[in-house]
Structure formats: structure tokens, C-alpha cells
Amino acid sequence: MSETHIRLPEGSIEKTTTTLNLGPTHPATHGVMQNILELDGERIVSTEQTIGYIHRAFEKIAERRPLYQITPLTDRLNYCSSPLNNMGWHLTCEKLLGVKTPKRVDYLRIIIMELARISDHLICNSIVGVDSGAYTGFLYVMQYRELIYEIYEEICGSRLTTNIGRIGGFERNFNDIAFQKIEKFLKEYPGVQREFENLFTRNRIFMERTIGAGPISAERALNYGFTGPNLRAAGVDYDVRTQNPYSSYEDFDFKVPVGTTGDCYDRFLVRNEEIWQSLSLVEQAYKKVKEFKGADAEVYHADVPEYYLPDKKDVYTKMEALIWHFKIIMGEIDMPVGEVYNSVEGANGEVGFYFVSDGGRTPYRLHFRRPCFIYYQAYEELTKGAMLSDAIIVMSSLNLIAGEMDA
Amino acid sequence: MKVTEYSEEKLRASSQYKLLVSQLKARGSELNTMSLTNDYIKQKLTEKFGDQVTGFEEPYGMLTFEAPKEMNLKVLNFLNDDPELKFRFLTDLCGVHYPDNKGRELATVYHLHNLEDNVRIRFKVFTDINKPDDYTATGLFSAANWMERETYDFYGINFVGHPNLKRILNVDEMDYFPMRKEYPLEDQSRIDKDDEMFGRGGSLGFGTEKTDHGTLIESDKKNVGEEIV
């Protein structure tokens, strides 16, 4: 050791790597999570993830709540696409209770779910841009995500944590303004998406940053429990919408895009293509909804008096409606005994609900399968040997949502 | 790496999207005639393990069964390796606490998926709460790592052989397993908490009104456990 070196204490071993704490509240993590990176220069030797900073014990809270009070908890899992979680939860309850929804409800749900998927993928892809230094795309598409939020607002009154729908259907029928807004979105959005893709897909800098960053093979992705666009980018065509169709997805025609290498660029391309597919699904569903005429066009919920809140005007004038209203609000309805696992294709992958009922008024046990939580384990494998800047871009292209991870 | 050449090739490869719905529909119609039904899986399992696999049920169409806790890896391995069963995707792993099942209070529930034939099954292992040892499935599924940590964190199920079995969502200092049924959620109507932001006692003067038990502030100062429970 030359004299220019700092003298180390006797017997100590010189550490050749740097430890870097990325997070818990680092702007590049887009959520509260921590990565402890061990760096050799700018290369990542190992990473360790710490999560749980916004753990809110939803599974425990759900054990004390009647079904309709659990919907707002699901909002806060993946808060970029809450309607998808809401619908997943309603579908799980409906499966347990044996409720069959009318076709029109299914189609309306598909409109909402696919809009949510678009808004989630839009955030993810534009954030990949932000993390590679291209802020423009993000700012540009944000105003069009606003159109989607306006549609939610028209239907349920809220924007981000939507609490949309009920067991059996929706709380009210879609009004004309909602349909006009959907039409407006369908008309305006394709141009925006093309512009967004023009900005990124063949952008040389973007390609250099994302191609080969954080790749994963199909085999490893399956072993790690990947689902959704991240799995499809690795080349596996698994999509809950086609494998176990729910909410009448079998009536629709759409493609499942797949990538080959599972790197950031493939994930980006798969998400972009899924946006196009979702747009086409919204359009198809919209057409199908418009085919309902007369009394059929007034159907927006199934007939389940035990779980579907009656109309307010009936509550004030009819005895039976008043009784049901009271029983539902006070959570005084016993559920059937059973256990059910139901999953929907969330924006990040398979959002599953494992629901154990012992015949009481609240779930005996409710477990959320959160895709984020499961695939974030692979982060170390994805970033080992990569550069620090790749670590950031891998994180955003996996679309890590802290709320979904920590439940 | 020369970006231009590499990316051209990659772009072509990754933009080859496949039309899958029709294929999947075709596959679905084949499925009905195929032999991987719940009955067949049950038959395969009983052939292999005899009466050690028990409790066959089909709630809402999903085959559910259980095995002794020493057998969990053997069963998972068999389901994974068997050329016909091919349950190679671990969808979900979680714990459930049944305090009334003496000697088998804690359940570990595996949800497995055969992606090729699109069949799901549920597999349960029950353990004694005083000695909640299971074998880890991390050797089979990398995905099991965090899911087992989560199960340990909330239920205290000890996965023998797990490479890094420590708490994941709760703080490391926690010395109990919060999802067990002996920890009920707080009664929403309790009034003894010093929680000034929510108007329940505290220094701002909320809750100083006289009640039958003195003021709320006074009851704050007493031992909370004695006063309320």
C-alpha cells in the first residue's frame, strides 16, 4: 500500500465496493421502497431490496369488514389502475356468491377495465422515458390520461382510487356524457399513441438505453412467477383474459402480444401493443353496449338484493328495500361457506384473490396475489452486472407500484 | 455493441405478435377431451402417495387436497416432474390460521397452475402451531422466496431450508405474528387512545368532557389494558 492511501486500521480488510442506498424515498424509485446496491465502480455487484414501507395490513383489515367495504382497500393496491382491482374483487365475490351478471354489465366492465389498463401502461411506458432522460413523452400523454380519469369521474365520481362498481354491476347506469367522453377518447387517443410511439420506439438513444437492459428468459420468468406484460415480453403468451376468460372476454377478438428477450425494450413494445389491443377492446365493447336498446339498455346490475344496494328512492318508499339497505350497510348478511380463488388480468399481471369464507359476515381469510410483489424478487437477477443507470430503468419498466407490493 | 444492426434484428423479432385467441380457443376445445381432469389428477396422486394425500374437495371447480407436512416437497416435486401433471407455475402461496383445529392450526396453501393444459389446483399442508415447520419450496420455485417470507412474517410458519427467512413487510423487531387469529383488530368504538388528530382525547382538549368514568383524559393516564378490556 502506497503512502497516498488512507491507512486502514490494523487487521481490517479493505472494501473494494461501494454501498449505495437507492431509496426509500428516492425520486427514481417512484414509490417507497429501498434498494441497497453494492457497486464496483458503476457496475452492480449485488442488490438487496427492502420493502414494506407502506404496508397497511389490508389482509388483516379485510377480516373485519363486510364485502362492500373491502372494495376501497383494493383501490389502493395498484393505484394506477384501481378499476381493474375493483372488478377483480367484485368478480371474486360474485364467484363465491354464485351471482351471474347480465351481458351488458360484462361489456361495461370491459370498457372500464381496458381503459384502466391503457392508463396504467401509459404511465409505465412514459415513466420509462422519464428515467432514460426523455421527459416530453410523459408530459404529453398525461393530459390524455386525464380523459380516462374524466370518464371514471362521470361513472363513479372519483378519479384515482375509484371504488367503482358493486357486487352484481355498477352503482348507476353510464350516462350520455360518459358515452360521449368514451367516444371522444376513442377518437382522439390513437393519434396520441402514434405520436408517443414515434417519439420513443425508433429513438436511437432510447433504444440504446433499453435494449439488453434487464433481460430475462421465459424459463426464469416463469420460475419467478412473472405474469402480465413482463412475462409476455419474455415470450410466454399467458394472459388470464384468454386462458380463463371472465366478464365475457370470450366474446371479443384481440391479440396477445409477446416479446422475445424480456428486456426493457420488449416490455415497452409489449405494453404499447397492449394499449392498441385495449383500445380495440374498448371500441368493440362500446359497439356491443350500443346494440342494447330499450329496456335492455337500462340494465346495469344483476338482481342480487342481498348484496346490491337498492335505489335511494326505493329505500325511502319501500319496506323491503329499506330492510336490505339496512342489512347491507350494517354488514348483517351471512355468506356461503367456501373457498375461492379468482384472478383477473391486472395491468401488471395476474391479480388474484384467495377468499376463505367460514359462513360469517366478513371474510375468514383474504389473500391478495399481487403480481408486483412476486416479480420484484427477480430484480437482483435482472440487474446483476448491469450499470447503475440500468437498475433505475429496469425498475420503472417492471412497473413497480409500492402500494401493490406492500398491500 | 453496434446498436444499429442489433436493434434492427431485434425489432423484427419482437414485433412478431401472434394471433392467439383463435389458437387458444382451439386449444380449449381440445382440453375438454383431454384426460387432465380433476379426477385424473386425484387418481395419479393416490396411485403415487396412497392414503397420505387426503381431503380431496372441489370447491368452485378447483381440486383441493392436503398432505402431511413432511410430504409437502415430495408432493410438489411429483406435481412438477410428472410428465402429465406439469404443475410448474406457483401462482400463490399463503398461510391461514384455524385456531380450533388442535394440532393442525396453521395451513400453508399452495396454488399451482399447469400453464400448458390450463388447470389449477390447490394444495394444503397443516402444521402444529407449537412446531410450525414446513420444508421450503424455494428450490423448486424462485417465486416462493418472498411468498414464504411473507407467510413467515404473518403466521410464523418456519420454512426449513429457506435461504433468507426473515420478516419482509413488518419491522424486524416485531415479536409476534400479526395475522394469527389471537390478535383481533382494534374495536372501532374504543375511546381510550391518545389520538388527538382524530378527536379521541389528547392535549388539544378534545375528550375532556365529563363522562360516567371521569374525563377521557383521566382514563388515558390509567393502564389502558385494565381500563378497557
CA distances from A337 to A60, A98, A357, A359, B97 (A): 19, 12, 5, 4, 16
pLDDT per position as a tens digit, B112-158: 999 989 999 999 999 999 999 999 999 999 999 999 999 999 999 99
Q: Note whether A172 and A33 are same-domain residues.
A: no
* Contact assignment for B20 to A273 by CB distance below 8 Å: no
**Residue B84 pLDDT greater than 80, yes or no:** yes
CATH number of the domain encompassing residue B33:
3.30.460.80
Mean pLDDT across A119-142: 92
**Residue B21 pLDDT greater than 50, yes or no:** no
Q: Note whether B89 and B133 are same-domain residues.
A: yes
* Contact assignment for A207 to B179 by CB distance below 8 Å: no
Q: Cβ contacts of residue B78 below 8 Å, gap of 6+? A: B45, B48, B49, B85
Position B114 in a domain: yes
Using a CB–CB cutoff of 8 Å, tell me whether B182 touches chain A: no
* Contact assignment for A273 to B62 by CB distance below 8 Å: no
Q: Note whether B77 and B141 are same-domain residues.
A: yes
* Contact assignment for B94 to A354 by CB distance below 8 Å: yes
Which pLDDT does position B23 carry in this prediction? 47
Using a CB–CB cutoff of 8 Å, tell me whether B62 touches chain A: yes
Q: Note whether A39 and A110 are same-domain residues.
A: no
- B/e letters for B188-223, b = 16+ CB within 10 Å, e = fewer, are eeebbbeeeeeebbbeeebbeeeeeeeebbebbeee
Position A11 in a domain: no
Burial category of A44 from C-beta neighbours within 10 Å (exposed 0-12, middle 13-18, buried 19 and up): buried
How many CA within 13 A on the CB side of residue B106? 24
Q: Note whether A67 and A40 are same-domain residues.
A: no
Q: Note whether B54 and B148 are same-domain residues.
A: yes
Assign B223 a pLDDT band (cuts: 50, 70, 90): very low
* Contact assignment for B154 to A59 by CB distance below 8 Å: yes
DSSP-based helix, strand, coil % in chain A, nearest 5: 50, 10, 35
Q: Note whether A42 and A190 are same-domain residues.
A: no
Q: Note whether B107 and B214 are same-domain residues.
A: no
Q: Note whether A266 and A284 are same-domain residues.
A: yes
Position B136 in a domain: yes
Q: Note whether A45 and A143 are same-domain residues.
A: no
Cα-Cα-Cα-Cα dihedral sign, residues A39, A40, A41, A43: negative
pLDDT per position as a tens digit, A192-227: 999 999 999 999 999 999 999 999 999 999 999 999
Position B176 in a domain: no
Assign B25 a pLDDT band (cuts: 50, 70, 90): very low
* Contact assignment for B24 to A212 by CB distance below 8 Å: no
Using a CB–CB cutoff of 8 Å, tell me whether B2 touches chain A: no
CB A53 within 8 A of CB A32: yes
Written as one string, the DSSP assignment of chain B is --HHHHHHHHHHHHT--B--HHHHHHHHHHHHHSS--HHHHHHHHHHHHGGGSEEEE-GGG-EEEEE-GGGHHHHHHHHHH-TTT---EEEEEEEEE-TTSTT--EEEEEEEEETTTTEEEEEEEEEBTTB-EEE--TTT-TTHHHHHHHHHHHH--EEET-TT---SSS-TT--S-TTSTTSPPPPTT-----BGGGTBSSTTSTT-SEETTEEHHHHHHS-HHHHH-
Angle at A404 between CA A400 and CA A405, to 5 degrees: 70
**Residue A113 pLDDT greater than 50, yes or no:** yes
Q: Note whether A145 and A276 are same-domain residues.
A: yes
Nearest C-alpha of chain A: how many angstroms from B86? Answer: 13
Instruction: Please list every residue in chain A whose beta carbon sits closer than 8 Å to the beta carbon of residue B17.
Output: 255-258, 273
Q: Note whether B41 and B153 are same-domain residues.
A: yes
Which pLDDT does position A26 carry in this prediction? 78
Assign B94 a pLDDT band (cuts: 50, 70, 90): very high
Position A7 in a domain: no
Q: What percent of chain B has pLDDT over 70?
A: 66
Q: Note whether A42 and A131 are same-domain residues.
A: no
Which pLDDT does position B76 carry in this prediction? 94
**Residue A274 pLDDT greater than 80, yes or no:** yes
Which pLDDT does position B212 carry in this prediction? 56
Position A185 in a domain: yes
Using a CB–CB cutoff of 8 Å, tell me whether B89 touches chain A: yes
B193: domain range?
186-223
Task: Label the pairing between strands A34-40 and A337-345.
Answer: unpaired
Tell me which of A254, A269, A354, A404 to substitute to probe the interface with B (most B C-beta atoms closer than 10 Å). A354
**Residue B79 pLDDT greater than 60, yes or no:** yes
Which pLDDT does position A2 carry in this prediction? 54
Q: How many domains does chain A have?
A: 2
Position B18 in a domain: no
Using a CB–CB cutoff of 8 Å, tell me whether B174 touches chain A: no
Mean pLDDT across A323-344: 91
Chain A: residue whose CA lies nearest to B22? A253
Of B17, B115, B168, the CB nearest to A51: B168
pLDDT averaged over every residue in chain B: 77
Instruction: Please list every residue in chain A whose beta carbon sits closer than 8 Å to the beta carbon of residue B9.
Output: none
Instruction: Please list every residue in chain B whose beta carbon sits closer than 8 Å to the beta carbon of residue A352.
Output: 91-92, 111
Assign A15 a pLDDT band (cuts: 50, 70, 90): confident
Position A13 in a domain: no
Position A3 in a domain: no
A197: domain range?
57-406
Position A182 in a domain: yes
Higher confidence at residue B192 or residue B142?
A: B142
Instruction: Please list every residue in chain B whose beta carbon sits closer than 8 Å to the beta carbon of residue A356.
Output: 96
Residue owning grid cell 399442508: B125
* Contact assignment for B94 to A223 by CB distance below 8 Å: no
Position B171 in a domain: no
ipTM of the complex: 0.90
Position A340 in a domain: yes
- Dihedral angle, C-alpha A336, A339, A344, A349, nearest 10 °: 150
CB A83 within 8 A of CB A112: yes
Which pLDDT does position A12 carry in this prediction? 76
Assign B24 a pLDDT band (cuts: 50, 70, 90): very low
Of B3, B90, B96, the CB nearest to A365: B96
**Residue A57 pLDDT greater than 80, yes or no:** yes
- Picking from B142, B160, B178, the residue at the C-terminal end of a domain is B160
CA distances from B69 to B51, B104, B131 (A): 14, 10, 11
Position A295 in a domain: yes
Assign B17 a pLDDT band (cuts: 50, 70, 90): very low
Assign A64 a pLDDT band (cuts: 50, 70, 90): confident
Using a CB–CB cutoff of 8 Å, tell me whether B157 touches chain A: no
Using a CB–CB cutoff of 8 Å, tell me whether B21 touches chain A: yes
pTM assigned to the model: 0.86
Which pLDDT does position A329 carry in this prediction? 87
Amino acid at B52: Q
Using a CB–CB cutoff of 8 Å, tell me whether B217 touches chain A: no
